[in-house]
Amino acid sequence: DAGVIQSPRHEVTEMGQEVTLRCKPISGHNSLFWYRQTMMRGLELLIYFNNNVPIDDSGMPEDRFSAKMPNASFSTLKIQPSEPRDSAVYFCASSFDRVGNEQFFGPGTRLTVL
């Protein structure tokens, strides 16, 4: 398996622009997670899907952020409009819900908002 795939790997945009990050989870996994990592705040869970349904979005910072999972093999995280404080590395991870199962992380998307 190719692992969790994220695109793009790097994104540089200007304040106010819309940004869309994409994720393809590992085939057969039924949970998907979006995280944000910064030096100041560490690793933060933004949203968690199970069987394509959002279960916990309490970590989504504000209405500018939205996430969708239209099917089991694809998810997007959208920021509109983007702001410089959104600059971070965004990770997608997937897992199969079972006791003891670990999460598999993608390589991340490094977002820079100028």
Q: Which residues bind other proteins (CB under 8 A)?
A: 4, 31, 33, 42-43, 45, 48, 50, 55-56, 91, 93, 95, 97-108
Nearer CB in complex with other proteins: 45/72:
45
Nearer CB in complex with other proteins: 44/66:
44
Cα separation of 16 and 114, whole Å? 9
Q: Smallest gap, in angstroms, from Cβ of residue 108 to other proteins?
A: 5
Q: How far from 53 is each of 15, 18, 20, 105, CA to CA, in Å?
A: 30, 24, 19, 19
Q: Is 62 exposed, middle or buried (0-12, 13-18, 19+ CB in 10 A)?
A: exposed
Nearer CB in complex with other proteins: 72/81:
72
Q: Smallest gap, in angstroms, from Cβ of residue 55 to other proteins?
A: 5
